[in-house]
């Protein structure tokens, strides 16, 4: 998997110089997850995952607390969780996850983002089979061997362990996410550079320069949509 995850993080970091956009997306996701279950991360594992992700993006505590308090108060806003699949230039593949209170608006916006940038929407299942749901945890201050030893002692399985810049990144099955966190916390590691449940392409494709520029524009447009939470794809943008 190489430097894949850090490439993704670096691109997001440069794009999210205006952090209000990403903070708003986290606020919405925290509210939805807290409202669907208990507003306490200790009893709501889905909320715990989102909060760990939020920490790696330095989302302010005030935004997190406000979203949780809104959920506790029985906020009247209701959101649907949607997944769209589609194709970009040269057969590239894209998955778009959204939270929306207006399904028609979101579907129209996502379809337009694909159609105006050399892509097209696919049917459900047309793309997702080429991606794997994956837990990704990143830590600093440890070598790959030390991380492997921590996981072995905790009897936690990993798909892959790689050194990526200053971090050691662990890729595992989604159901290992909490076990990974606990293994590291028991080893004295409480801060993560990455803490995600994501969709990783089984293989990547390279695009010619002109197609890549068009593809990156399409991804930017999709990510800028208010209702879109995550965008996954199989293009090597290194």
DSSP of the chain:
-TTHHHHHHHHHHHHTTSTHHHHHHHHHHHHHHHHHS-S-TTT-HHHHHHHHHHHHTT--HHHHHHHHHHHHTT-S---EEEEEEEE-GGG-EEEEEEEES-HHHHHHHHHHHHHTTT-EE--TTTTGGGEEEEEEEEEES--HHHHHHHHHHTT---SEEEEETTEEEEEE-GGGHHHHHHHHHHTT----SEEEEEEEESS-B---HHHHHHHHHHHHHHHHSTTEEEEEE-B---
Domain boundary among 40, 56, 72: 72
Domain boundary among 32, 56, 72: 72
Quick one: pLDDT at residue 79? 92
Q: Say whether both 93 and 209 belong to one domain.
A: yes
Would residue 138 count as lying in a domain?
Answer: yes
Q: Say whether both 135 and 196 belong to one domain.
A: yes
Quick one: pLDDT at residue 166? 84
Would residue 64 count as lying in a domain?
Answer: yes
Is the Cβ–Cβ distance between 108 and 162 less than 8 Å?
A: no
Quick one: pLDDT at residue 12? 56
What is the per-residue pLDDT across 194-205, written as a single tens digit (0 to 9) for each? 899 999 999 999
Q: Say whether both 86 and 63 belong to one domain.
A: no
CATH number of domain containing 60: 1.10.10.200
Quick one: pLDDT at residue 3? 41
What is the per-residue pLDDT across 156-195, written as a single tens digit (0 to 9) for each? 999 999 998 888 999 999 999 989 999 999 999 988 988 9
Q: Say whether both 100 and 123 belong to one domain.
A: yes
Q: Say whether both 62 and 89 belong to one domain.
A: no
Structurally, the chain folds into a number of domains equal to 3
CATH number of domain containing 102: 3.30.70.980
Quick one: pLDDT at residue 14? 53
CA 231, CA 222: separation in Å to the nearest integer? 7
Would residue 238 count as lying in a domain?
Answer: no
Q: Say whether both 95 and 207 belong to one domain.
A: yes
Q: Say whether both 52 and 146 belong to one domain.
A: no
Would residue 197 count as lying in a domain?
Answer: yes
Q: Say whether both 62 and 14 belong to one domain.
A: yes
What is the per-residue pLDDT across 20-73, written as a single tens digit (0 to 9) for each? 888 999 999 999 999 988 888 888 989 998 998 898 888 999 999 999 999 888
Quick one: pLDDT at residue 10? 54
Q: Residue range 227-233: average pLDDT?
A: 94
Q: Say whether both 63 and 181 belong to one domain.
A: no
Would residue 51 count as lying in a domain?
Answer: yes
Q: Say whether both 8 and 24 belong to one domain.
A: yes
Quick one: pLDDT at residue 5? 59
What is the span of the domain harbouring residue 189?
Answer: 131-201
Q: Say whether both 144 and 45 belong to one domain.
A: no
pLDDT band at 75, cuts 50/70/90? confident
What is the per-residue pLDDT across 89-114, written as a single tens digit (0 to 9) for each? 888 999 999 999 999 999 999 999 99
Q: Say whether both 160 and 43 belong to one domain.
A: no
């Amino acid at each position: 998997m190489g430097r894949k995850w850090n490439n993704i993080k670096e691109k997001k970091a440069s794009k999210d110089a205006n952090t209000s956009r990403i903070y708003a997306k986290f606020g919405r996701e925290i509210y939805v997850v807290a409202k669907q279950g208990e507003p306490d991360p200790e009893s709501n594992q889905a909320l715990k995952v989102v909060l760990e992700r939020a920490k790696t993006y330095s989302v302010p505590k005030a935004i997190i607390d406000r979203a949780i308090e809104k959920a506790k108060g029985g906020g009247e806003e209701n959101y649907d969780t949607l997944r769209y699949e589609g194709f970009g230039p040269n057969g590239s593949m894209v998955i778009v996850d959204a939270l929306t209170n207006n399904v028609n608006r979101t579907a129209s916006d996502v379809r337009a983002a694909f159609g105006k940038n050399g892509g097209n929407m696919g049917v459900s299942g047309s793309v997702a089979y080429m991606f794997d749901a994956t837990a990704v945890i990143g830590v600093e201050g440890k070598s790959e061997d030390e991380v492997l030893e921590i996981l072995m002692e905790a009897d936690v399985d990993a798909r892959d362990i790689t050194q990526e810049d200053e971090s050691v990144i662990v890729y595992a099955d989604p159901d290992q996410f909490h076990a990974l966190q606990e293994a590291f916390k028991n080893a004295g590691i409480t801060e993560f550079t990455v803490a995600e449940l994501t969709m990783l392409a089984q293989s990547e494709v390279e695009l010619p320069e002109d197609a890549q520029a068009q593809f990156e524009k399409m991804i930017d447009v999709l990510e800028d949509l208010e209702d879109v939470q995550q965008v996954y794809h199989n293009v090597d943008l290194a």
